[in-house]
Amino acid sequence: MDILIYGTVNSIVLALIAVGFTLVYGVSRIPNFAHGALYVLVGFLTWSFINDLKINYLLAVTLSLIISALLGAIIYRWVLIRLRGMATSEIIASFAVSLIILEGLRMQGIGGFKGFIGPYYILPPFIEGKMRIVGVLIDFQRLIIIGGGLAIVLLLWIFTHHTKVGLSLRAIAQDERAALMLGIDSDRAAVIALSIGSALAGLAAVIILPLGNVTAEAGYKVLIDAIAVCIIGGLGSWAGAVLASFVLGFAMIISTALFGAVWEKVVLVGAIILILILRPSGLLGKQKELEERV
Amino acid sequence: MVIEETRRKRLDRGIKVRTETLYALSTWREMAYLIVPRTVLILGLLLLPLILDMYWQRVLCTAGIYAILALAFDFLAAYVGLVCLGGALFIGAGGYISGLLNAYLGWPPLLCIPIATLAGAVISTFVLLPCLRLRGIYFAIVSFMFPLFAVHIIVALNVFGGTEGISALAILPNIWVEQYLILGMIIVSLFAIRRLVNEDIGLILRGIKDNDQAVRASGISITAYKTKAVFIASLMGCFGGAYLSHLYGWLGISLFAMDFSILPIAACVMGGMGSLVGPVLGAFILTPMSEALRGFGQLRVVLYCLILIGFIVYKPEGLMNYLQRKYHQFEYWERV
């Protein structure tokens, strides 16, 4: 029962981390390597807003999400727009942006900036307390993760299938040329996708981070997790990402319970390698021109 | 009255035959057009140790390691289309094998380094083998994971010295051997790779980069060729690693550090992707700069990344390609 519940929580954590990445990749074919960095950045921003500027929790979260979305748009408009179509440069540039943010957060001694190093950066949970579900002790934050995660996935599904902007994003993902002929601006779509993706990274951070403390190193871990989920599910595949996060989430929890925490990462890499050998396009990826990518 | 007429003439006009890289040379002066840049590079590299002092000689050795890594990255990225974000994997594999052979078996460095270069390259190639069916982003992502993963395993299982690493390895005999070993290796691998990419295998590799399905349709196994390319690149990387562990007489998990993955990429973008010489020069510019910033900690990484983005956005061709173009376009006045 423990495994079932914590596995679900872990899977939803993975799904939350991965949706932003897969949304951006699905629409603009840009691998946003700054995803993990934005995740951590939102964590630290929220912490600073609460503790340094003494802003109300909800307001702090909203502010940092807006900043994250703006940053996503800026990254696209300033850097990535000039590199569209050059896969190598896109990877290198977005990876560089990610390193600037992550290592910048750890930078010390410039202008009295102490750097975000150490164990004191903890976001408060939304609601304190714990409860028992079928005999398993679980805190409210983890319940919020389950609820919030499902809500976000559902809302995104509605957004991409039933709103005009969402539909235009899917159109770009399916056939960029045809979408251009119908008057959908692909750059604008990419900016929107990148902002939403960055905000989703931030949202995931705000929901997940109260479970532990905020560290800059988590950025690399989040990036790797997001990418692992996307590779296993098929890059850019929507249902695949959710399926893969459940497969991975349970695999990680089960291996931790059976062999210890060391093997969690081994399972991650092992799963990636296995998938790459057996089905290089991922569980649900089809590698076709016309397919549902968002 | 005879009016003396002159016209502007491009340096390469008379000797370039229809395409790039084919020349018709008839005088020493025209020979010099091709020979001078190459000699300046080789002599410059060989003479550098003589004019530097003790501290900068050490920096030169480190710069050499980055240069050789940058060369490997450039070869993979620009000629095979595999963007390897995990250059630290090569350094770590070479460094650990060489250091462990020295620490546990007591073999001398000059024996350990070649063995570690070969063994490390074989291991790195096997590790990367499952991902070779991937292209572009997929490969970049997976290769990025391996160094982090290696650190994780070493720390978790507490093998090979764990977090502390192993110190007091045998170091190379003296500073001159250290410097000329790495400089010689850079020059040899630079010209070897230049030759390689112009051979038939280079043509196939570039074909794989541009359109792998077309190469497959020609009945060529792309995985086999990618394996060869990765092996060649990891030979260079592992040599750098093996050399590094004997340069400082120490091995540890920082052999898998992010620096070894990101600085070569920055050097490569700065020097000019695909020019092969550019990355080497880029490494020799960036490493001393990062050495000067040693006191600032993480600012170094931020700075490389800013340079990287600056070049990739505003000067995507890089320094070397720019200089090369200017050199070929150099004009002089000629009497008609």
DSSP per residue over chain A, as a string? -HHHHHHHHHHHHHHHHHHHHHHHHHHH----TTHHHHHHHHHHHHHHHHHTS---HHHHHHHHHHHHHHHHHHIIIIIGGGGTT-HHHHHHHHHHHHHHHHHHHH--SBTTB--S-STT-BPPPSS--EEEETTEEEEHHHHHHHHHHHHHHHHHHHHHHHSHHHHHHHHHHH-HHHHHHTT--HHHHHHHHHHHHHHHHHHHHHHHGGGSB--TTHHHHHHHHHHHHHHHH-TT-HHHHHHHHHHHHHHHHHHHHHH-TTHHHHHHHHHHHHHHHH-TT-SS----SSS---
Token couple for B221: 């196994």
Q: From the CA of B198, how many Å to the nearest CA of chain A? A: 22
Q: From the CA of B291, how many Å to the nearest CA of chain A? A: 17
Query: For residue B54, how many C-alpha atoms fall within 13 Å in the half-sphere facing its CB?
Result: 1
For residue A280, which residues of chain B lie inside 8 Å, CB to CB? 133-134
Q: What is the mean pLDDT of residues A216-229?
A: 82
Token pair 């929790």 is found at A57
A193 Cβ under 8 Å from any chain B Cβ: no
3-state secondary structure of B6: strand
Residue A293 lies in a domain: no
Residue B239 lies in a domain: yes
Residue A294 lies in a domain: no
More confident residue, B178 or B17: B178
**In the predicted structure, residue A110 carries a pLDDT above the cut 60:** no
For residue B130, which residues of chain A lie inside 8 Å, CB to CB? 273, 276-277
pLDDT single digits (tens) A224-233 = 888 888 878 8
More confident residue, B4 or A167: A167
pLDDT computed for residue A64 by the predictor: 87
Lowest pLDDT segment from A114-128, A234-248, B138-152, B156-170: A114-128
Task: Using alpha carbons only, give the angle B111, B257, B134 rounded to the nearest 5 degrees.
Answer: 90
Residues 25-64 of A with CB under 8 A from B: 31
Mean pLDDT of chain B: 83
Q: From the CA of A230, how many Å to the nearest CA of chain B? A: 10
Q: How far is CA B151 from CA A266, B163, B177, B257, in A?
A: 12, 9, 31, 9
pLDDT computed for residue B261 by the predictor: 83
ipTM at complex level:
0.75
Residue B158 lies in a domain: yes
* pLDDT tier, A289 (very low <50, low <70, confident <90, very high otherwise): very low
Residue B280 lies in a domain: yes
For residue B308, which residues of chain A lie inside 8 Å, CB to CB? 92-93, 96
User: Which one of B158, B298, B308, B314 would you mutate to disrupt binding with A, by most A Cβ within 10 Å of its Cβ?
Assistant: B298
Q: What is the mean pLDDT of residues B95-109?
A: 85
Q: What is the domain range of residue B222? A: 6-335
pLDDT computed for residue B136 by the predictor: 67
Q: From the CA of B311, how many Å to the nearest CA of chain A? A: 10
Cross-chain Cβ contact A79/B313 below 8 Å? yes
Cross-chain Cβ contact A265/B152 below 8 Å? yes
* pLDDT tier, A290 (very low <50, low <70, confident <90, very high otherwise): very low
Between B200-210 and B175-198, two packed helices, what is the crossing angle to 10 degrees? 80
A89 Cβ under 8 Å from any chain B Cβ: yes
Lowest pLDDT segment from A276-285, B1-10, B148-157: A276-285
Counted domains in chain A: 1
Closest-CA residue of B relative to A83 is B313
Task: Using alpha carbons only, give the angle A276, B227, A285 rounded to the nearest 5 degrees.
Answer: 20
Residue B218 lies in a domain: yes
Residue B192 lies in a domain: yes
Q: From the CA of B151, how many Å to the nearest CA of chain A? A: 11
| Contact yes or no for B81/B132 (Cβ under 8 A) | no
| Contact yes or no for A72/A194 (Cβ under 8 A) | yes
Cross-chain Cβ contact B77/A88 below 8 Å? yes
Closest CA to A43 of A109, A111, A105: A105
Q: What is the mean pLDDT of residues A194-211?
A: 86
A108 Cβ under 8 Å from any chain B Cβ: yes
pLDDT computed for residue B109 by the predictor: 81
pLDDT computed for residue B178 by the predictor: 82
For residue A273, which residues of chain B lie inside 8 Å, CB to CB? 130-131
Percent of chain A at pLDDT exceeding 70: 84
Relative to beta strand B250-251, strand B331-335 is unpaired
Q: What is the mean pLDDT of residues B197-203?
A: 88
Cross-chain Cβ contact B296/A110 below 8 Å? yes
Counted domains in chain B: 1
Residue B1 lies in a domain: no
* pLDDT tier, A291 (very low <50, low <70, confident <90, very high otherwise): very low
Burial class (CB in 10 A: 0-12, 13-18, 19+), A137: exposed
Q: How does DSSP classify residue B26?
A: -
Q: What is the domain range of residue A209? A: 2-109+116-278
Most confidently modeled range among B12-16, B146-150, B275-279:
B275-279
Cross-chain Cβ contact B149/A273 below 8 Å? no
For chain B, the residues whose C-beta falls within 8 A of a C-beta of chain A are: 77, 81, 83, 85, 130-131, 133-134, 136-138, 140-142, 144-145, 148-149, 152-153, 156-157, 258, 262, 265-266, 269, 273, 296-299, 301-302, 304-306, 308-309, 312-313, 316
Q: How does DSSP classify residue B1?
A: -
Q: What is the mean pLDDT of residues B313-320?
A: 84
Instruction: Write the residue in B137, B265, B296 that is nearest to A87 by C-beta.
Output: B137
Closest-CA residue of A relative to B315 is A82
Cross-chain Cβ contact A106/B156 below 8 Å? no
CATH of residue A213's domain is 1.10.3470
pLDDT computed for residue B135 by the predictor: 67
Lowest pLDDT segment from A36-40, A60-64, A83-87, B278-282: A83-87
pLDDT single digits (tens) B150-193 = 887 887 777 777 777 777 777 777 788 888 888 999 999 999 99
Cross-chain Cβ contact A96/B309 below 8 Å? yes
Lowest pLDDT segment from A184-193, A272-281, B26-35, B40-49: A272-281
Residue B315 lies in a domain: yes
pLDDT computed for residue A288 by the predictor: 43
A100 Cβ under 8 Å from any chain B Cβ: yes
Residue A287 lies in a domain: no
pLDDT single digits (tens) B20-60 = 667 777 778 778 877 888 888 888 888 888 888 888 888 88
Token pair 């709103």 is found at A163
Residue B187 lies in a domain: yes
A87 Cβ under 8 Å from any chain B Cβ: yes
